[in-house]
């Protein structure tokens, strides 16, 4: 394992991207940062700029308006980076499968610009904070 | 090694020794390690205040190593040279400052290495580099962050210099840091006032809450540093870690008598100043930039002018506690 991946696992800084979520998954992500779950003990930190990020936490099924923004945010993130599709919508459009305004899901949009992108899925509506932590840890351990 | 240097000048050895001081022992390697430990202390104490477990001991080290391995993205519209050079300029400034302070701490009797005026100049360099780098990045968020940083520098710089003037008066017009570090001006009214004001100025210099408006995570998305990534961001992080060593150490030397007594007492003073800064950071909300300037100019300024007058009176009538 190269030192780049080793250190990436030790300190994954995450950037939160909302691509048309109902705000439920976002609340669960904010929950992660509360003292109860305290993800800083795993080195996870929420950062304000995609340029500082190692992982994108994407919520929502990607609306037509959000798709170009999601691509742009992915391009702005320095590689190596991991994309997490958080929630049923981000994984497979969820209850919005037949929605006229949905162009997602997340993996399709990301793979349009980078076929080799590393994408991890955390299903649930919304996923519990424990599920998100478990998903992040599992994804990082197979990296 | 002896055989290699036998034929060479004494100056050559001297130069190598200076290089060793700057790069290894009291300089770069030592200060970076100490700074990373200090930034761990900042994060750990913050998490204890918030009733959390907090990051592991090597977390700041992992962060820097990780950033070193990441891709460096440079915005197309950025002024490339300034954008890349700014973090290095800032790092050089802090490196010189910390080397100077450690040299004086370790061996105060040596020849001139720098006085308080040099230290004040070197302390401006990191902020100046931040202003240069972020304004070269062509990002509107960074532009707002830059303007706030500039205003903040103009705000606290006056108070900081006034606080040091109090110390210079108390020490009878001495400018040499080695001589100033022999005294503890904090045990007088004017010295205590100056110390408290300087503590808040250092808070602003470190970019800690309540004065973190240049890097405001919530509304500016890390403001001045928004466009930096990879190794360049790592240099900024290392610079901020080194400032966590240099600035509290400087306060300890100027106000609290430095490391003149026992070594553990010096370390205890440093940790005390650091924990004070962390507690201020964790118990205050961020203020607006206009509130910060008003605070430094009108409140700190008035208090410090009073402290200067008290110090002059105390000095001319020989009253030490004033």
On chain A, the residues whose CB falls within 8 A of the CB of B74 are none
Can you name the residues that pair with A82 across neighbouring β-strands? A55, A118
pLDDT at A138: 86
d(CA B147, CA B127): 12
Mean pLDDT of the B191-204 span: 91
C-alpha to C-alpha distances, A3 to A8, A10, B68, B210, nearest whole angstrom: 8, 11, 10, 36
A34 against B234, higher pLDDT:
B234
CB-CB under 8 Å, B54 with A40: yes
Chain B interface, best mutation among A48, A55, A72, A143, by max B CB count within 10 A? A48
Q: Is B51 near chain A, with CB under 8 Å? A: yes
Q: Taking the CA atoms of A53, A57, A58 and A60 in sequence, report the sign of the dihedral they define.
A: negative
Q: Which of B43, B55, B229 sits opposite A78 (nearest CB)?
A: B229
A1 against A93, higher pLDDT:
A93
For A122, counting Cβ atoms within 10 Å of its Cβ (0-12 exposed, 13-18 middle, 19+ buried), the class is buried
d(CA B183, CA A105): 67
Least confident interval from A4-13, A59-68, B229-238: A4-13
Task: Please say whether the beta carbons of A11 and A45 come within 8 A.
Answer: yes
Mean pLDDT of the A13-39 span: 87
For B231, counting Cβ atoms within 10 Å of its Cβ (0-12 exposed, 13-18 middle, 19+ buried), the class is middle
Q: Is B66 near chain A, with CB under 8 Å? A: yes
Distance in Å, alpha carbon of A78 to nearest chain B alpha carbon: 5
- pLDDT value at B305 more than 90: yes
Residue A86 φ/ψ, nearest 5 degrees: -100, 120
Count structural domains, chain A. 1
Chain B interface, best mutation among A13, A47, A49, A77, by max B CB count within 10 A? A49
Structure tokens of B138? 């062509």
Q: Is B89 near chain A, with CB under 8 Å? A: no
pLDDT at B172: 82
Give the pLDDT band of residue B1 (cuts 50, 70, 90). Answer: very low
- pLDDT tens-digit map of A74-123: 988 988 888 999 888 888 888 888 888 888 788 888 888 888 888 889 88
Give the pLDDT band of residue B198 (cuts 50, 70, 90). Answer: very high
pLDDT at A81: 86
d(CA A135, CA B321): 62
* SS3 letters across B113-136: CCEHHHHHHHHHHHHHHHHHHHHC
Task: Please say whether the beta carbons of A123 and A87 come within 8 A.
Answer: yes
Distance in Å, alpha carbon of A73 to nearest chain B alpha carbon: 13
CB-CB under 8 Å, B217 with A48: yes
Task: Please say whether the beta carbons of B280 and B204 come within 8 A.
Answer: no
B196: preceding bond cis by omega (within 30 degrees)? no
CB-CB under 8 Å, A51 with B226: yes
pLDDT at B17: 78
B318: preceding bond cis by omega (within 30 degrees)? no
Mean pLDDT of the B187-199 span: 89
CB-CB under 8 Å, B217 with A43: no
Q: Is B221 near chain A, with CB under 8 Å? A: yes
pLDDT at B142: 87
Q: Taking the CA atoms of A65, A68, A74 and A77 in sequence, report the sign of the dihedral they define.
A: negative
Least confident interval from B30-39, B69-78, B236-245: B69-78
CB-CB under 8 Å, B222 with A49: yes
Question: ipTM, 2 decimals?
Answer: 0.85
Cα B100-B247-B161 angle, rounded to 5 deg: 90
The CATH number given to whatever domain includes residue A43 is: 3.40.50.12280
Give the pLDDT band of residue B214 (cuts 50, 70, 90). Answer: confident
- pLDDT value at B2 more than 50: no
Least confident interval from B108-117, B157-166, B240-249: B108-117
Q: Taking the CA atoms of A62, A68, A71 and A77 in sequence, report the sign of the dihedral they define.
A: negative
Residue of A nearest to B216 (CA): A48
Q: Is A76 near chain B, with CB under 8 Å? A: yes
- pLDDT value at B5 more than 60: no
Can you name the residues that pair with A63 across neighbouring β-strands? A102
- pLDDT value at B180 more than 90: no
CB-CB under 8 Å, B71 with A48: no
Q: Is A30 near chain B, with CB under 8 Å? A: no
Q: Which of A41, A48, A51 sits opposite B227 (nearest CB)?
A: A51
Q: Is A41 near chain B, with CB under 8 Å? A: yes
CB-CB under 8 Å, B228 with A43: no
Task: Please say whether the beta carbons of A70 and A19 come within 8 A.
Answer: yes
Distance in Å, alpha carbon of A79 to nearest chain B alpha carbon: 6
What is the share, in percent, of chain A residues with pLDDT greater than 90?
3
Distance in Å, alpha carbon of A10 to nearest chain B alpha carbon: 6
C-alpha to C-alpha distances, A129 to A16, A135, B20, nearest whole angstrom: 14, 10, 50
Q: Could you tell me which residues come within 8 angstroms of residue B294 by beta carbon, excluding any fewer than 6 positions away? A: none
Q: Could you tell me which residues come within 8 angstroms of residue B194 by beta carbon, excluding any fewer than 6 positions away? A: B162, B163, B164, B166, B167, B185, B255, B304, B307, B311
Distance in Å, alpha carbon of A90 to nearest chain B alpha carbon: 24
d(CA A126, CA A43): 24
Angle between helices A24-32 and A129-142 (to 10 degrees): 70
- What is the side-by-side order of every strand in the sheet holding A45-46? A45-46, A13-18, A55-59, A82-86, A118-122
Give the pLDDT band of residue A1 (cuts 50, 70, 90). Answer: low
Q: How many C-beta atoms surround the C-beta of residue B196 within 10 A?
A: 18
Q: Is B118 near chain A, with CB under 8 Å? A: no
Tell me which residue range forms the domain holding A19. 3-142
- pLDDT tens-digit map of B276-302: 999 999 888 888 888 999 999 999 999
- pLDDT value at B157 more than 50: yes
pLDDT at B199: 92
CB-CB under 8 Å, B62 with A51: no
Mean pLDDT across chain B, nearest whole number? Answer: 85
pTM: 0.86
Nearest to B200 by CA among B290, B303, B318: B303
């Amino acid at each position: 394992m190269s030192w780049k991946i080793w250190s990436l696992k030790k300190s994954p800084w995450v950037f939160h991207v909302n691509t048309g979520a109902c705000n439920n998954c976002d609340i669960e992500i904010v929950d992660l940062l509360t003292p109860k779950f305290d993800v800083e003990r795993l080195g996870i930190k929420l950062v304000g700029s995609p340029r500082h990020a190692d992982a994108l936490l994407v919520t929502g099924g990607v609306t037509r308006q959000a798709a170009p923004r999601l691509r742009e945010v992915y391009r702005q993130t320095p590689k190596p980076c991991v994309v997490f599709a958080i929630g049923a919508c981000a994984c497979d459009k969820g209850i919005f499968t037949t929605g006229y305004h949905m162009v997602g899901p997340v993996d399709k949009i990301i793979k349009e610009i980078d076929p080799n992108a590393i994408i991890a899925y955390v299903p649930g509506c919304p996923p519990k904070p424990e599920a998100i932590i478990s998903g992040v840890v599992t994804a990082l351990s197979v990296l | 090694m002896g055989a290699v240097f036998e034929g060479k000048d004494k100056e050559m050895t001297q130069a190598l020794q200076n290089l060793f001081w700057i790069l290894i022992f009291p300089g770069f390697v030592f200060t970076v390690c100490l700074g990373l430990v200090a930034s761990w202390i900042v994060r750990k104490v913050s998490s204890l205040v918030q009733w959390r477990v907090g990051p592991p001991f090597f977390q700041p080290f992992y962060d820097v190593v990780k950033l070193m391995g990441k891709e460096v993205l440079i915005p197309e519209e950025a002024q490339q040279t300034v954008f890349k050079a700014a973090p290095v300029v800032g790092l050089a400034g802090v490196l010189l400052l910390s080397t100077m302070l450690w040299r004086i701490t370790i061996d105060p009797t040596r020849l001139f290495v720098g006085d308080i005026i040099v230290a004040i100049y070197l302390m401006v360099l990191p902020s100046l580099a931040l202003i240069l780098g972020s304004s070269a990045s062509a990002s509107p968020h960074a532009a707002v962050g830059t303007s706030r940083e500039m205003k903040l520098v103009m705000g606290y710089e006056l108070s900081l210099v006034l606080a040091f003037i109090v110390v210079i008066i108390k020490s009878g017009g001495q400018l040499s840091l080695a001589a100033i570090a022999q005294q503890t001006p904090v045990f007088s009214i004017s010295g205590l006032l100056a110390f408290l004001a300087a503590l808040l100025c250092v808070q602003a210099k470190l970019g800690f809450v309540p004065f973190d408006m240049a890097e405001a995570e919530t509304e500016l998305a890390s403001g001045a540093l928004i466009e930096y990534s990879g190794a360049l961001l790592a240099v900024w992080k290392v610079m901020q870690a080194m400032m966590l060593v240099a600035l509290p150490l400087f306060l300890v030397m100027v106000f609290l008598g430095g490391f003149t007594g026992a070594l553990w007492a010096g370390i205890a003073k440093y940790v005390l100043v650091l924990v004070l800064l962390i507690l201020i950071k964790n118990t205050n909300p961020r203020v607006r930039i206009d509130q910060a300037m008003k605070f430094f100019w009108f409140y700190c300024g008035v208090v410090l002018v009073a402290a200067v007058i008290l110090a002059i009176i105390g000095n001319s009538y020989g009253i030490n506690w004033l």
